Structure formats: structure tokens, C-alpha cells
A and B are shown apart, each in its own frame.
Chain A
Amino acid sequence: MTTETSHSAAGHAGHAAPNVKLYMLIFGALAFLTLLTVLISYIHLSPGPAIAAAITIAVIKSSLVVLFFMHLINERPIIYGILAVVAFFVLFLYFGPMADTIATSGRRPAQSVPTAAEAAR
């Protein structure tokens, strides 16, 4: 009873209300997905499918952490607003250089970065 009233008070006062059973379920899912990632890596897929599988599982795992451990699923609009701005810049940061890299990859040979000793010469 005390726990319930504390939860309620916490939820109304700007703190997220905890849910221990849910935390345990998410923990199980995270452990399973970690082992799944490692098992998939032992198949030694070619880079394309390997990257797709690894990124997909990483996104699912991080979403579980953000939504339930960080309580984003019950968060206030201002937090969503902050994260929307972040998401925009992250996507820009990723797709901007990536578009240039992909567009010019066929037109120039792969460049090797000189070592410090080579640069000094």
C-alpha cells in the first residue's frame, strides 16, 4: 500500500513510476538479444546482411532501454521535443557525409591515411 501511494506520488511529481516486473522482462529480452547478436556473428555473413542484422538488434535493444528503463514511454512532451531535435541532427550528421561518400566512391580510389612517420617524410 505504501509502495502504491509512493508510486502514485512519484508519477504525479515529475518522477517516473517504477515497474519492477517490467524491468525484469526487459532484462530478459536484452540478454536474449545480446546472445542472438553474438550467435548471428558466428554465421560470418557478408558485410551487408551482417551490418543490417547487428544494427537492427542494437536499435531494438536501445529502444527497450530508452522506452522502459529511461521511462520515455511515459515522458512529457518537452522531452520528446528535445529528442526530436537530436534525432534530426543525428540523421543529418549520418546521411550528409554518407551521401557524399557513396556518391563519390566510384570516382576515386580508396585513400590510405599516411602514418605519422610517412607524413613526416
Chain B
Amino acid sequence: MMSEAAAMDMPHVGSSTGVTNAKLGIWLFLASEVMLFSTLFTTYIILRLGSSSWPRGWNVLNVPMGTLNTLVLITSSVTVVMAYAKAVERKRGQFRLFMGLTIALGVAFLIIKGFEWGAHFKAGEFPSSSIFLAAYFTMTGLHALHVIGGLITNSILLVLSEKQWDHPLFVGRVEAAGLYWHFVDIVWIFLFPALYLL
């Protein structure tokens, strides 16, 4: 079993880097993503410092829903890392369970976020209503797009686990998708207090 697993994975480890191509690629991609969100955070801070008045997040946004969404996304980070663990342990049924849970939690996050956005639109609050709302819709909207991207990737892996479970690159793909999903979680960890609680 060990020799099979080792033989299965070894050819895909870069001899000079010691990491798989998938892992190196996803970290480089995440590096560019960090820069993207950093520009938004810096812009947000400068807008806030330069404004004569700025609303406190809890007066404008729904803190309980934001808290619930934070817990949903944190839980999904655990389920996706469990899916990776089960892929490494070659337990397909449990992998599918945890990846399915991750997808379900991602969908739940988007539904909760949809309710929040819907409530704002019903109240006549749009991105053009204020700088704060422009920042809120831009940052949470871009984050939601990333969640959708992660959902698509995770769904593809769930489907591929049926026929490509023994493919030599499968575990690496799961690991890369997991790294991306954790990044999405980290972005929200900063977005939540910055927008809702300050």
C-alpha cells in the first residue's frame, strides 16, 4: 500500500522544489489573490480615514447573519481539510461525504449572503447609496464570486472522485482545491470584522 501510494505520487513532485506542481501553482495563484484583496482592503481603510463620517458596521449590516456566515465558512474549512485527509487515506466514501458537506456549507453561505443583499435592496440600499455600501457590496461581491469558483472546483472534484479516484494527480488536486477554499475563508475572516464590527 505504501509503495503504491509513494509510486503514485512521486513523479509529480518537482525535483528542485520538493512540492507538487499543483501545490506550487496554487500558492502562486493565491499570492496574486492576496494582492487583489489587499488593494481592496487598503482602499477601504483610506476611504474610511478620509471620510468626515463613516457608519459603524453594526448600524448598517446584519451582525447575527454575518456571524452565522463566519461560522459556516469556518466549518467548511474543517470539512474540506477532512476531505483532503480522507483522500490521502484513500477512503473514497468519507472523502465524498466531507466534500459534499463543504459544498453544502458553501451554498449555505451564499444563500445567507443573498438574504442579506436582498434585505439591503428592499430597503433601497445600493452600492451607489454611500461609500460604505459601495465598499461593502464590492468586497463581499468579489468574495462571493470566489466562493462560487471554489464551489465549482469542489463539485468537479466530487464528480471526478467516481472515475478518477486512482488517478495519480487526484490527491494533489484535492489539496490545491482545499488551499484555495481556506484562502476564501481567510478573506472572510478579515472582511467580517472590517465591515460588520468596526
Contact = CB atoms under 8 A, between A and B. Distances in A.
Given A82-B28, A90-B35, A61 B189 contact: yes
A78 B46 contact: no
Interface in A56-109: 57-58, 61-62, 65-66, 69-70, 75-79, 82-83, 85-86, 89-90, 93-94, 97-98, 101-102, 105
A23 B78 contact: yes
A80 B12 CA distance: 20
A76 B18 contact: yes
Contacts of A16: 175
B42 A97 contact: yes
A38 B197 contact: yes
Given A5-B2, A12-B6, A65 B71 contact: no
* Interface residues of chain A: helix, strand, loop or mixed (majority): helix
* Interface residues of chain B: helix, strand, loop or mixed (majority): helix
Contacts of A101: 46, 49-50
B197 A27 contact: no
A13 B10 contact: yes
A41 B63 contact: yes
A66 to B, nearest CB: 7
* A interface bracket (residues with beta carbon within 8 Å of B): 35 or more
Given A15-B20, A20-B85, A110-B50, A51 B5 contact: no
A14 B194 contact: no
A116 interface: yes
B194 to A, nearest CB: 7
B121 interface: no
B101 interface: no
Contacts of A69: 77-78, 81, 178, 182
B167 interface: no
A87 B39 CA distance: 13
B198 interface: yes
Interface in B18-60: 18-20, 23-24, 27-28, 31, 34-35, 38-39, 41-42, 45-46, 49-52, 56, 58
Interface of A: 2-3, 5-10, 12-18, 20, 23-24, 26-27, 30-31, 34-35, 37-38, 40-41, 44, 47, 50-51, 54-55, 57-58, 61-62, 65-66, 69-70, 75-79, 82-83, 85-86, 89-90, 93-94, 97-98, 101-102, 105, 110-113, 115-116
- Kindly list the 8 A-B residue pairs having the minimum CB-CB distance in the complex, ordered from nearest: A13-B9, A18-B85, A54-B193, A41-B197, A9-B5, A14-B13, A5-B2, A110-B52
19 contacts: A10-B88, A13-B5, A14-B12, A14-B13, A18-B81, A34-B67, A37-B192, A51-B198, A54-B197, A58-B192, A58-B193, A62-B186, A65-B182, A69-B178, A70-B183, A78-B18, A82-B27, A89-B38, A110-B52
